[in-house]
Structure 1
Amino acid sequence: MRSFIIQIFTIALLVGIFSTGKAQAQGVSSIITSSLYDQMLPNRNSFYTYDAFINAANAFPEFGTTGDADTSKRDLAAFFGQTSHETSGYVYIEEIAKTDPPYYGRGPIQLTHKYNYELAGTAINEDLVTNPDLVSSDPVISFKTAIWFWMTAQAAKPSCHNVMTGQWSPSDADKAAGRLPGYGLTTNIINGGVECNGLAPDPVADRANLYKGYCGMLGVGPGDNLDCNGQMPYSNN
């Protein structure tokens, strides 16, 4: 993983502001081009194709297109930062140490647990409860489940997308728990009960480093509050 992060930062230095502020009406493909995708994920499994990503992204019109150009870029950098951590640079399709079979981690976000398969399947109109292997055998479906998770608020948690696009404001309870806007909150949303509030600083740092690397490749600043070390997890984490 360390070597992968070094690759990301090296490419970021070389690419600089490769992706400029094109009109958002052009969609995600105007920010993440095929060549940039290859540079972002140099060691990815061939399962994770660029076309599958763009196909899935187009099913969620607000993904990577909300707000100004810098906001859209940060949203995409955050998505790839988190999913790259979950898959070790898009190398893995399925969870290595399988939990909660047959609803173990699959795809870019490592979708886990029956309730998530049911909710995601309903949202993308696929029966993932009966056939959870669709998430690891169909790359478009796989990416759709990850983007669905990114775009969807669950219980007390806001969506990662709303956090990264400035559409979420912390309540008094959030502020008291240290949960403030920024990339670190997306880590809390995804795996706060295991990693946040000082529980596992190394994976938290890995997620943040990946995000900063992708921000560099997209020519955008990462913003504030990049880790969740001082955040209390959500009660349903």
Structure 2
Amino acid sequence: MLLHRNDGGCPARGFYTYDAFIAAARSFPAFATTGDQATRKREIAAFLAQTSHETTGGAGWAAPDGHYAWGYCYNRELNPSPYCAWNPNYPCAPGKQYFGRGPMQLTWNYNYGQCGRSIGVDLLNNPDLLSSDPTISFKSAFWFWMTPQSPKPSCHDVVVGAWSPSGSDQAAGRVPGYGVITNIINGGLECGKGWDAKVEDRIGFYKRYCDMLGVGYGNNLDCYNQRPFGNGVLVDSM
């Protein structure tokens, strides 16, 4: 499925392995095991699509096998910034930077801190683990996927139908479907602005994986008319 992740042109070649994916997923047993077979397949497709977009190495539409065959080429941000914000609970460690790393390109010290506390790893002092240890790297992506951060639901809950939009969600156009997952991840930069190339890219990856798994796409794939929940936890750092 991840056809070119080990291509010579991918800086993260050899990093993202099936064994690391499975080992990390065992720490989140509800992932791809909730609901009927179609729901489980759709969750895998949605997860791979969003993370493929975050780590894509597709050099335009002329890339061999097409743009959407080039997910998982990067495990760290190309143009890193410190991403250090004052936070009494998760202060930045001296000399450490919290730029995008891993399949979900986790950013900011407070996200590294929350994620590390959840998975039992000191990511505030060791942020590079997300680009040096593939299992921990995948765990960070699963943590983000499975964890609601109010007022945002978790991506998992959206896929499996466990999220019911509130009145304010409905007024903001936020409805169940793949589009609201994009809103959860990076809505502050991509959603509610009409057509957006990055949103379309996420949809393209999703359709590819759904087709490979033989499952329908569902409804509401974009977030063009959805107001953001607020600033996204992540930025599109690639």
Q: Distance in 1 between matches of 2:195 and 2:29?
A: 34
Question: What is aligned with 2:163?
Answer: 168
Q: Distance in 2 between matches of 1:199 and 1:136?
A: 34
1:76-155 equivalences in 2 (<5 Å) = 76-88=44-56, 89-101=71-83, 102-155=97-150
Question: What is aligned with 1:52?
Answer: 20
Any unmatched runs of 5+ in structure 2? Answer: 6-12, 57-70, 84-96, 233-238
Partner residue of 2:32 out of 30, 43, 64: 64
Question: What is aligned with 2:93?
Answer: none
Q: Distance in 1 between matches of 2:146 and 2:227?
A: 22
CA contact (8 A) 2:194 2:225 kept: no
CA contact (8 A) 2:187 2:231 kept: no
Q: Distance in 2 between matches of 1:194 and 1:76?
A: 24
Give, as a single letter, the amino acid of the residue that structure 2 aligns with 1:87. Answer: T
Q: Distance in 2 between matches of 1:41 and 1:99?
A: 28
Question: What is aligned with 2:177?
Answer: 182
Give, as a single letter, the amino acid of the residue that structure 2 aligns with 1:220. Answer: V
Q: RMSD across aligned C-alpha pairs, in angstroms?
A: 1.0
Give, as a single letter, the amino acid of the residue that structure 2 aligns with 1:100. Answer: P
Matched, 1:216 2:177: no
SS of structure 2 residue aligned to 1:148 = helix
Q: Distance in 1 between matches of 2:44 and 2:114?
A: 23
Q: Distance in 1 between matches of 2:153 and 2:14?
A: 32
CA contact (8 A) 1:179 1:185 kept: yes
Deviations 1:163-209 (A, max 9, x none): 01100010110011000000000100000010011266100000011
Query: Greater share of helix residues, 1 or 2?
Result: 1
The ranges of structure 1 where at least 4 consecutive aligned residues each deviate by more than 6 angstroms after the TM superposition are none
Give, as a single letter, the amino acid of the residue that structure 1 aligns with 2:201. Answer: D
CA contact (8 A) 1:194 1:200 kept: no
Any unmatched runs of 5+ in structure 1? Answer: 1-39
